[in-house]
Structure 1
Amino acid sequence: MGTYKFYKLDFAGWADRISGDSRLAEYWKGVLSEHPEFFRLDADREKASLVWRRQHQKRFHVDAEKTLSKDDFHELSDEEKARVSRIPLTSSEIGTLVQTAINLHARALEQKTDSRWWIVGFFGILGALVGALIHSWAA
């Protein structure tokens, strides 16, 4: 998503680019919708893009693969402007996004593990109570 020529696509387009199967559009819609820290949907909620890439100006000519100056952009026809997208992310920016995603995932796993601390204690106490009941019943 950070390096494709066009920064914003519909879900079928992203499904095809990411997994090679446009039929997985609903799956990818769910993934992209669940992570607003990385992705934004358009006003109609039919297309998605990376938040970071949206911060760049629309000055990248996808056919010429070059960044246009403000004057060059304004000299383009409307048809040519349709071939202009946001500047692709650098490898450093993509690396930062990947590292951030890994860190967020690791924290989520830690939280999930931390939220289960009571399970071991609960079953230990439950086992002791059941053992005491069995012992008192057998006596």
Structure 2
Amino acid sequence: MIFGNQSASPYLDKNGQRLKDVLAAIQIMAEYSRYSASLQRWIFLITGTAEADQTSADLSYWGNVFNEHSEFFRTDQNGKIALIHRRVLGFYDIDSERDVSLDERGNMSEADRKRTSRRRLTPEQLTSLMTTAIHLHAAALQAQQARKWWVAPSLGVVGIVLGAFVTAWLKGEGAG
């Protein structure tokens, strides 16, 4: 496909909102007490739209944001979405904010284990992820512009050829 967009970046959505929404998702998901949640819960936390008021368009849009940006987000077998970076962090008790070792967590009751989650990101980690998203967006814009290098020269060539035809036609009209 010569003229089409062969590998469109998800950062270059038609509304121009994708980077803003990826950054919002990263911020909320980095700070929320739970490291994973349902799509509907993340939509509520990011946009403020109550789960009962979320439309199929909301679910589709945000589902695409999370699925198309696998450099930041993953969905588990239960449909819960997480910020990947938090998956490598240690566990903590949500109520006391105390670190919990894997051994300690393994010996907890199911109810107590449900009160644990992965640690929140540090400000430096959050800044790093946001900077990465901004750089990926900038690279996508640059690549998009690079794919259009041929437009201006092509228009110039078309103009020259068209001008030659018009000139030849006018000379032909003047002779006849």
2:85 to 30, 52, 62: 52
Instruction: Please tell me whether residue 87 in structure 1 is matched to residue 119 in structure 2.
Output: yes
CA distance, structure 2, for counterparts of residue 66 and residue 93 of structure 1: 20
Kindly indicate whether the alpha-carbon contact (under 8 Å) linking 1:38 and 1:52 is maintained by their aligned counterparts in 2: yes
The CA deviation at 1:71 is 5.1
Contact 1:11–1:26 (CA<8 Å) still a contact in 2? no
Partner of 1:120: 152
Is residue 30 of structure 1 aligned with residue 64 of structure 2? yes
Q: Which runs of 5+ in 2 are unaligned?
A: 1-28, 172-176
Q: Deviations over 1:27-55 (max 9, x none)?
A: 111001001111111125x2211111111
Report what 1:19 is aligned to.
47
SS of residue matched to 1:126:
helix
Quote the residue 2:37 is aligned against: 9
Structure 1 unaligned residues grouped into runs of 5+: none
TM-score, normalising length from structure 1? 0.91
Distance apart, 1:69 and its partner CA: 3.6
Residue 110 of structure 1 is matched in structure 2 by 142
**Residue 77 (str. 1) matches residue 103 (str. 2):** no
Aligned residues: 137
Looking at structure 2, the residues matched to 131 and 119 of structure 1 have their Cα atoms a distance apart, in angstroms, of 18
**1:63 aligned partner, one-letter code:** D
- 1:131 matched to 2:140? The reply is no
C-alpha RMSD of matched pairs (Å): 1.4
TM-score (norm 2): 0.73
Listed one character per residue, the Cα deviations across residues 62-96 of structure 1 (whole Å, up to 9, x for unaligned) are: 12222124454344321111111011111100000
